[in-house]
Amino acid sequence: MPTVSKKEILDYMCRRAYRPLTEAELARVFLPGGKGTKTLKRILRQLEEEGLIYQTRTARFGLPSQFNLLVGRLDGNPRGFAFLVPDTEGTEDVYIGAENLGGAMHNDRVAVRLLPPGRGKTREGEVVRVLKRGNHRLVGTLQNKRRFALVVPDDLRLGQGVVIPRGRLMGAKTGDKVVVEFTSYPAPKAPAEGRVVEVLGPADAPGMDMLVLCRRYELPEDFPRDVLREAGEIAALTPERDPVARRDLRKEVIITIDGEDAKDMDDAVSLAVLPTGSYQLGVHIADVGYYVREGSALDKEALRRGTSVYLPGRVIPMLPQRLSNHICSLNPGEDRLTFSCVMKIDADGTVEGYELFPSVIRSRARMTYISVHRILGGDRELTERYRRFVKMLQRMRDLCLILRRRRLQNGAIDFNLPETAIKLDDSGRVQDVGRAERTVAEQIIEEFMLAANETVARHAAAFELPFIYRVHPKPDEEKVAGLEQLLAGFGYNAHGIGRLQPAGFQAVLDAVRDKPEERLINAVMLRSMKQARYAPARTGHFGLASEYYTHFTSPIRRYPDLFIHRVLREALLNAGKLTEKRVAELSALAVDAATVSSERERLAMEIEREATAVKKVAFMQDKVGEVYSGFISGVTAWGLYVELENTVEGLVHVRTLTDDFYVYDERTYTLTGRNTGRRYRLGDGVRVKVLRASTEDRMVEFELLTDGNFLY
């Protein structure tokens, strides 16, 4: 039977002489025998859904560009308009007014026609077709009306609301949080309709904010039965059945160092000083791949999730708790299967040699970042309690500083951005929000894991193993040009970063250290960077200034780590050699795993950021009227964003700046008064009063206190 591929169709349509053809006409081109039309129809629908081709009202097919159309994802705005984010990289976003959405919603894939240029600089367009809906469900608050009910979405980018007929409420009451399934999408003159499929409960119930996030992003909280069954059948320790010789390290002094609340401990460390003066660093990682076999239900579910998601007060794990918190977790005093990377490191931080091997360990202690920090600071009580580990911890600090110095000398970029620490009570309500302290204890684990990850990546490259690398492309040149302009406004000559070398960026960070503008420039520089991702090809990591990098150290919570553990294990079992067939199989799996894991990681980061923002707003709700010090973290035409010392950020709306008319300058990131000349710019210190903190729109609003001198 004649066959046709997507590539053949696209290549044919790319020809200069191509004119839009109907499905029947395309069938005569590709299927002269008349067979295979169902396959052709299916491929055309797939290409259309992917936005690679477009079908006109007269049922003719062509490339979107041939009809002067752009295809991409719709990025909605709570104020009703949206932007098209085109699929073509480097193409400018297109503004879509509310009147030109044509029933399209946030996250839909759409085809957009550009409108004639207007007075402004922004390109405008109109949606001509929704190619694929981005939302099948939404979470919101129910409001009962006289004849129907309305669900107002928590994500205000999704529009004004969904109408729910009386018979489809599932008993939900006004003020309840509910999950709604769309039965019809909005049209230019008709609202969306739906039915309630789950009633979550009152909006103010403890823990509701995190439950809502889980439902909004469709996080899989429960595991399928076959996955739980497989997990339940796994024995805690069966090294005698392992075909790979496993080295017994149970007599060695090995410890874990984690956060206070950690339950899934997947890395342990050991350190000794050799007679030559070199360090012998052991990084011992939970051998999850021994238990989660390729192609099993556990493996498929782990790939589907891609990563664990960490929210304030709860975790959505990649693996069932029987594995993540028990069998695979390196709990103290219990025999655990591990995969060890033991490195010999000289006094300059160079890895002179290494070994990779399966092992079995017994952790001597579960230490925390706080306890290690206090011990290294001389705390007498803790030093006495952990006296058998004190010398090793001191040596770990020494090696950490050596590795860090070498990494920075090689050009790695070290951002100094504050992280948020959120303290909850037993019911999940916020007790406190502040800056997370980053001590030498965290740095020890960070540097040791970086060393192991880089060593494993070098090993994989040397043996040409099918692998998943962690890659980080160079920054976008246009964004770097904007960063240079910002730095020039602060008096810094930063033309060197235009050469896009990591060392140039680090030189800027060193220059602004301990300056008022340090936090601002750290944040803007980070935004100029592209996102790191997973890839089957090794292309280097810009931020770490490293040619070789991977993720090996967290297989309990990241799928790529689990995948490469299996590859390393299989290579060891076969003396470093894999058959051509097996290389092809693993290479194909690596492509899929890298793609899915990158997507799931981005989603997890978005959810975790939003969860933190929700808790920050909740914390500020009873602080209305209180005064705080902060700095201007953002300047826009509609006002100033101010970040407080506790990392909470809020808006000073321009309408509250009543002493003058303020003009926004996008080149210098400033608002300047026309009459007074008073200027507000990024990094300025200010004092503000809390006006409002709303969990509905997740917004904190401030009033600027000038008192004749707004700087502090």
Does the CA dihedral 484-490-493-496 come out positive or negative?
A: negative
Higher pLDDT, 446 or 240: 446
Q: For residue range 581-630, what is the model confidence (pLDDT) as tens digits? A: 999 999 999 999 999 999 999 999 999 999 999 999 999 999 999 999 99
Q: Are residues 519 and 548 located together in one domain of the fold?
A: no
Query: Tokens 């707003």, residue?
Result: 617
**Which residues neighbour 434 within 8 Å (Cβ) at sequence distance 6 or greater?**
420, 421, 423, 646, 647
How many angstroms separate the CA atoms of 220 and 318, rounded? Answer: 9
Of residues 526 and 243, more confidently modeled: 526
pLDDT band at 498 (very low <50, low <70, confident <90, very high): low
Q: Which of residues 64, 86, 102 is at a domain's end?
A: 64
Residues 6+ apart with CB under 8 A from 406: 348, 349, 350
Domain end, chosen from 579, 611, 643, is at 611
Residues 415 and 462 in one domain: yes
52: CATH: 1.10.10.10
Rg (CA), the chain: 28
Measure the N-to-C terminal CA separation of the chain; round to a whole number of Å: 78
Answer yes or no: do 358 and 244 share one domain.
yes
0.85 surpassed by pTM: yes
Query: 449 and 362 in one domain?
Result: yes
Counted domains in the chain? 6
Contact 319, 234 (CB under 8 A): no
Are 166 and 201 part of one and the same domain? Answer: yes
Same domain, 264 and 409: yes
Query: From the CB of residue 38, how many other CB atoms can be counted at a distance below 10 Å?
Result: 8
Reply yes or no on whether the pLDDT at 711 is more than 70: no
Residue 123's domain spans which residues? 68-132
Position 710 in a domain:
no
Residue 519, pLDDT score: 74
At 514 the pLDDT is: 79
Q: Higher-confidence residue: 633 or 388?
A: 388
**In terms of domains, do 258 and 381 share one?**
yes
Same domain? 155 vs 119: no
Distances (CA, A) of 282 to 249, 361, 555: 11, 11, 17
Please, are residues 83 and 96 in contact by the beta-carbon 8 Å criterion? yes
* Numbers of helices and strands, H then E, in the chain: 17, 34
Separation of alpha carbons 558 and 456, rounded Å = 16
Q: Name the band, by pLDDT with cuts 50, 70 and 90, for residue 1.
A: very low
**pLDDT cut 70: percent of the chain above it:** 96
What pLDDT shows up at residue 426? 85
The answer to whether position 218 is within a domain reads no
Q: Count the neighbouring beta carbons within 10 Å of the beta carbon of residue 99.
A: 10
Q: Is residue 215 part of a domain?
A: no
Residues 254 and 174 in one domain: no
Tell me which residue of 87, 74, 551, 547 sits closest to 306, measured CA to CA: 551
Q: What's the pLDDT score for residue 663? A: 93
